[in-house]
Homo-oligomer: A and B are copies of this chain.
């Protein structure tokens, strides 16, 4: 039985710039700007520049001086860290409407992770100085930013727990569940992870090797829990995956 071709359909990215309307929509929906008036959003919008990126292109590297806060308009961006030996660890994958670039280190320091365009994408950026102006002008935004960073911290702690005590199989299941909840697109019974997503990526997300990931994914696939192909994954039984992720070891 032949495998289906990739069902992932990449969103269209305007080769020039994102439209003004779209920019306003994205900026206005950020968790820390959502409560502002549309006049304020229009004003803030003017502090952002846009920037088109082709897939695979690095946006900044770990250690570069942190000068901007970024915002994904369209496309997907991955955040990663490199080890001395060159292996990469995938910390997060961001979709439209998410921010990145050391929000909190504004006023000194470098980026603590590398950001790479996972697909063609349009990125909005604001300089640290301008962002600071916004925070001073709208103090309640600072509070919401704080909350947003706190949520990322909480997610990181959850990942630490998973890496500490779960098996590779459980971590892979958990990573797929996380992505399905974030980037999942419901198609009939199943949930397609809307993202070009290789075994290599999944390995870097779960601290495993490509080979091990391939074996586990094949097993899930044979059991009918997921369907996969080259650089895509679709989930047929989300509940089943969740059960595997939580399943407690004998002890």
A40 at the interface (CB under 8 A from B): no
In the complex, A207 Cα to B207 Cα: how many Å? 13
Chain A contact patch, size range: 35 or more
Contacts of A251 in B (CB 8 A): 85, 87
A149-B153 contact in complex given A89-B160, A89-B161, C-beta closer than 8 Å: yes
Assess the B157–A113 pair: CB atoms within 8 A: yes
In the complex, A195 Cα to B147 Cα: how many Å? 32
When each residue 113-157 of chain A gets 1 if its CB lies under 8 Å from chain B and 0 otherwise, what string results?
Answer: 100000000000000000010011001001101111111111011
Contacts of A148 in B (CB 8 A): 104
When each residue 45-74 of chain A gets 1 if its CB lies under 8 Å from chain B and 0 otherwise, what string results?
Answer: 000000000000000000000000000000
Assess the B157–A246 pair: CB atoms within 8 A: no
Residues from 222 to 251 in A contacting B, C-beta threshold 8 Å:
246, 248-249, 251
A163-B246 contact in complex given A143-B142, A156-B157, C-beta closer than 8 Å: no
Q: Which residue of chain B is the closest to A103 with respect to CB atoms?
A: B150
Contact of A160 (CB < 8 Å), options: B87, B143, B163: B163
Contacts of A150 in B (CB 8 A): 102-105, 149
When each residue 95-114 of chain A gets 1 if its CB lies under 8 Å from chain B and 0 otherwise, what string results?
Answer: 00000001111110000110
CB A106 to nearest CB in B, in angstroms, measures 8
Assess the B84–A147 pair: CB atoms within 8 A: no
Q: List 10 A-B contacts (CB under 8 A).
A: A83-B165, A84-B248, A85-B248, A89-B165, A104-B150, A113-B157, A135-B143, A156-B156, A159-B160, A165-B207
In the A-B complex, list the 9 residue pairs whose CB atoms are closest, starting with the nearest.
A104-B150, A164-B207, A163-B163, A85-B248, A156-B156, A142-B142, A112-B154, A89-B164, A153-B153
